Amino acid sequence: MINKLQAKNIMIEDVHVTSPNDLVAAAKLKMMRCNVGGLPVVDKKKLVGIITHRDVLLAGGEALGLKVGDLMSKELYVAHKDTPIMEITKVMADKGYQRIPVAENGILVGLITQSSLIRALAGID
């Protein structure tokens, strides 16, 4: 069954995002309030990066005054709706990623997290 699953079958579509112009402090607060470990960074509907709670912690307290664009990861593995789940899980395992953005023509359409992957494999909606 897993061999037939694609990103579109398990991605989260209602994704919390931040802007590269937002302050890191605001992104951190949003992550805490939304109970998520990272936020895709979107500029004019285009996916431009991702920022994680870990990025903020590693950067230290002085990073809170920076803009998200200064701290976000820009080199991303981005899946497409038809990317096989087996490929995505391999990337997650090999690279240690906990979340993979899904985009079409550069526009964010969803997010696959370790939790969404586990829910799908367990048959939990």
pLDDT in tens, 45-72: 999 999 999 999 998 888 888 999 999 9
Phi, psi dihedral angles at 123 (to 5 degrees): 80, 20
Domain ranges within the chain, ordered by starting residue: 2-122
What does the pLDDT read at residue 105? 96
Q: Rounded to whole angstroms, how far apart are CA atoms 79 and 87?
A: 9
What does the pLDDT read at residue 60? 87
What does the pLDDT read at residue 73? 95
Rg (CA), the chain: 14
What does the pLDDT read at residue 62? 82
What does the pLDDT read at residue 120? 80
Percent of the chain with pLDDT over 90: 81
User: What's the length of the chain?
Assistant: 125
Q: Any idea which fold 2-122 has?
A: CBS-domain (3.10.580)
